């Protein structure tokens, strides 16, 4: 909806995938089929703003604190920097989560498809994940959508996501 009035120059494919928890089959087949230049995996991540969560391991991630940007091996530094810059320019609250190995998201499959895909991860803080009482803040969802729409609008026809 955020892109309906202001059509982006980039071609966009929004894909809902299956089997992220087991084989990444949905993300892998979608990335092979679409052969994207850049991809954003959208998922949830552990909120650490409640007792029993280790902020040293999970970062300081709060409900209502905005989307969480992953930085690590499966994430393109160029995509990460652009997402970060957009958050700053648009006054979108955000957190950064360090993911030195795998992200636990579809990005783990997407970034290695074909010759490699410049991939970023935008996550929604989720309290009590994998329980019957999961909680998110709707402002985090709205801010993630705003961030992704601004990212898509920022892509020009000459943009390269391959580091020099």
* Residues annotated catalytic, as ranges: 20
- In Å, what is the CA distance from 116 to each residue of 47, 50, 74, 100? 30, 37, 10, 18
DSSP SS3 for 118: strand
Strands (E), the chain: 38-46, 68-72, 95-99, 118-126
CA atoms within 13 A on the CB side of 99: 26
Tally DSSP H helices, then E strands, for the chain. Answer: 5, 4
């Amino acid at each position: 909806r955020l892109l309906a009035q202001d059509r982006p120059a980039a071609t966009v494919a929004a894909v809902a995938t299956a089997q992220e928890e087991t084989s990444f089959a949905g993300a892998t087949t979608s990335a092979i089929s679409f052969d994207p230049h850049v991809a954003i995996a959208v998922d949830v991540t552990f909120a650490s703003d409640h007792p029993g969560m280790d902020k040293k391991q999970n970062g300081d991630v709060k409900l209502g604190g905005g989307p969480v940007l992953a930085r690590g091996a499966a994430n393109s530094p160029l995509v990460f920097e652009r997402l970060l810059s957009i958050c700053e320019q648009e006054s979108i609250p955000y957190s950064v989560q360090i993911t030195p190995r795998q992200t636990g998201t579809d990005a783990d499959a997407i970034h290695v498809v074909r010759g490699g895909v410049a991939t970023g991860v935008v996550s929604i803080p989720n309290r009590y994940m994998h329980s019957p009482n999961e909680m998110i803040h709707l402002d985090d969802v709205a801010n993630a959508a705003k961030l992704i729409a601004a990212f898509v609008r920022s892509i020009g026809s000459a943009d390269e996501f391959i580091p020099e």
